[in-house]
Structure 1
Amino acid sequence: MGQSNINLAALIGSRICHDLISPIGAINNGLELLGMSNGQTGPELDLISESVGNASARIRFFRIAYGAASAQPLGRAEVVSILSDSMDGGRLKAVYGPLDPQPRWAVRMAFLAVQCLETALPYGGRIEIACTDGTWDITGHSAKQSVDSSLWGLLKGEGVNELAPAHVQFALLPEVAADAQRKISTQLLPDRLTIRF
């Protein structure tokens, strides 16, 4: 996959997220109007509202991870909000360290790394995202891990015979890193997994 293909895939990702966020927002607005107009509440509306909130959060996350990236800065509050909303109610918690705005391309790489760690931490845990002097460390902490060596090999440039859609982040992150002239390194320890770029 060359640079032009990465850019095309990112534009497609941006387009899909952009087109989906509007109807999901409209559904959420409709639910709020239903609640205000006749005071309807109940488990059915709560379930719909929760599902819409989860879908909106994931689309915001995907828009950064799979959408077009640039040097445009993303503020801490926005990144923390996206991470918090997308992991709300899940087994994983993410802690975002950088205090200053960071370039969108770097946050994109961090989000792809977060997804790689999510795959390896199915029992839950804590993901810490740090950036020191331009070097990013995304570390997952958990006593229980499920590391697929062939997927993690992709991050080091090794090939894989077949890739499931749920694991596309493992193939995309090295390509995005190469475009950004960054090298990925990993550290796999019994209690923590780190992706550095």
Structure 2
Amino acid sequence: MYKDIETISSLISSRICHDMVSPVGAIRNGLELLEMSGIAPSIELDLINQSALNANARLSFLRIAFGDAGAGSMLSQTEIIAIIDNYYKNKRVQVDWQVARDQPRPQIKILLLLLMCFETGLPYGGEILVRKADSNWAVSANDERAAFDSPQWDGMITGQDIALSSATVHFELARMALAVNDITPEWRRMPNSMRLQFQTKVA
């Protein structure tokens, strides 16, 4: 019997995302059939299509961020870039992913959760830079309108309890993912910028 609530919640998240992929895919297939039948293009069809694409992008991103990390599994560089690009395609926050090669899925889970944290700290938009050299990761963002002084960031850096809501639960999930993988980040917080570095056991 599972007694680890983090494991149970991640499996539930994986199941929800998995089950939602099929109906979203069916909507897109239905739209393609309508287009093949000769139906005239319209604003309504474009809206449905864009909504389906956006839903699929979010499911792909959240399935890894909130779902089971799948210890030992890898994600290809192509898949990682597609997941990040599609998720942030129409957002004010952009991600500069300067990471080559395939990566272990548990590490990408951590990075996606951290991207969500950084996104929360950039309410007016900005760019998040992600780099990796060997087993050393670095994530940073700098914007004059940044908000990296929230209680959630305080908790991430100091280890104190975090007041959570559905809109900020990724902060605790990121902290838990780092702890589970025995990672202690080095934080550097300035008034309008945030940078963290950490090292993983597997390059």
Structure 2 residue 24 is the aligned partner of structure 1 residue 24: yes
Give the RMSD, CA atoms, in angstroms. 1.7
- Are residues 3 and 158 of structure 1, via their aligned partners in 2, closer, same or farther at CA, if it must alter by over 3 Å? farther
Instruction: Structure 1: give runs of 5+ residues left out of the alignment.
Output: none
Report how far residue 146 of structure 1 moved: 1.8
Structure 2 residue 11 is the aligned partner of structure 1 residue 8: no
Report how far residue 75 of structure 1 moved: 1.3
Provide the residue aligned with 1:150 in structure 2: 151
Q: Which amino acid aligns with 2:45?
A: L
**d(CA) in 2 for partners of 1:22, 1:90:** 25
Task: Report the TM-score, using the length of structure 2 for normalisation.
Answer: 0.90
Runs of 4+ in 1 over 4 A off after TM superposition: none
Q: Identity percentage over the alignment?
A: 35
- Are residues 3 and 116 of structure 1, via their aligned partners in 2, closer, same or farther at CA, if it must alter by over 3 Å? farther
Structure 2 residue 178 is the aligned partner of structure 1 residue 167: no
Greater helix fraction, Structure 1 or Structure 2: 1
Structure 2 residue 44 is the aligned partner of structure 1 residue 48: no
Structure 2 residue 124 is the aligned partner of structure 1 residue 119: no
Contact 2:76 2:102 in 1 (8 A): yes
Q: How many residues align?
A: 195
Contact 2:10 2:67 in 1 (8 A): yes
Of 39-48 and 132-141, deviating more is 132-141
Task: Report the TM-score, using the length of structure 1 for normalisation.
Answer: 0.93
Provide the residue aligned with 2:201 in structure 1: none
- Are residues 41 and 30 of structure 1, via their aligned partners in 2, closer, same or farther at CA, if it must alter by over 3 Å? same
**d(CA) in 1 for partners of 2:29, 2:99:** 33
Report how far residue 176 of structure 1 moved: 1.1
Instruction: Structure 2: give runs of 5+ residues left out of the alignment.
Output: 199-203
**d(CA) in 2 for partners of 1:158, 1:152:** 10
Provide the residue aligned with 1:65 in structure 2: 65
